[in-house]
């Protein structure tokens, strides 16, 4: 089962990076492969925890797929958990964590994703594309953070 993990230091506070990643409706403007994202439902569980049900359309060249996930935004723990509901995957798990770095106003962003397509053919077609896209994710989020919060957020991978 394909998996990708990236841990990256950025020059922005953990809460700021959490907010940036939690703003899922903005993904189509900067996240590789993401063409559309619609939040169908928002449930505020209290104590800083919100759950979203979202539909995402991804595409590469002539290949287009849609899938639905449950996104848990856990602000007190600075953690985002994405669980697969429906679509072309047999399995999809995605986790983000944000923790303070040694220097002020910096953090370590830990991104993990594991997935498997239902269709072996789609897995072969999209597998290499996904691997390349996931490697660009941290760059895309760091660049977005710099654009929104200012400064240079890249401090190494």
Distance CA 131, CA 145 (A): 22
Q: Give first-to-last CA distance, the chain, whole Å.
A: 24
Strands 63-74 and 89-100 come out as unpaired
How does pLDDT run along the chain (157 residues), one tens digit per residue?
A: 788 899 999 999 999 999 999 999 999 999 988 999 999 999 999 899 999 999 999 988 888 889 999 999 999 999 999 999 999 999 999 999 999 998 778 999 999 999 988 888 877 777 677 777 777 888 899 899 999 998 754 444 4
Q: Which long-range contacts (CB under 8 A, 24 or more apart) does 38-44 make?
A: 40/68
Q: Which phi-psi region, left, alpha or beta, contains residue 40 (left: φ > 0; alpha: ψ -120 to 50)?
A: alpha
Extents of the domains making up the chain: 3-149
Q: What is the pTM of this model?
A: 0.89
Residue 152: its pLDDT value, please?
Answer: 59
Pick the CATH number of 3-149 from 3.30.70.100, 1.10.287.370, 3.30.530.20, 3.40.50.10490: 3.30.530.20
Contact 82, 71 (CB under 8 A): yes
Distance CA 101, CA 124 (A): 38
């Amino acid at each position: 089962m394909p998996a990708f993990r990236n841990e990256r230091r950025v020059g922005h506070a953990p809460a700021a990076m959490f907010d940036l990643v939690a703003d899922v409706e903005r993904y189509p403007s900067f996240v590789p492969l993401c063409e559309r994202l619609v939040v169908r439902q928002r449930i505020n569980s209290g104590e800083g925890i919100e759950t979203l049900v979202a539909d995402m359309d991804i595409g590469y060249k002539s290949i287009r797929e849609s899938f639905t996930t449950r996104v848990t935004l856990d602000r007190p723990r600075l953690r985002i958990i994405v669980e697969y509901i429906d679509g072309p995957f047999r399995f999809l798990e995605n986790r983000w964590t944000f923790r303070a770095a040694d220097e002020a106003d910096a953090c370590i962003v830990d991104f993990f994703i594991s997935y498997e397509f239902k269709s072996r053919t789609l897995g072969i077609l999209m597998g290499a594309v996904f691997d390349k896209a996931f490697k660009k994710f941290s760059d895309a989020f760091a660049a977005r953070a710099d654009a929104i919060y200012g400064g240079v957020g890249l401090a190494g991978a």
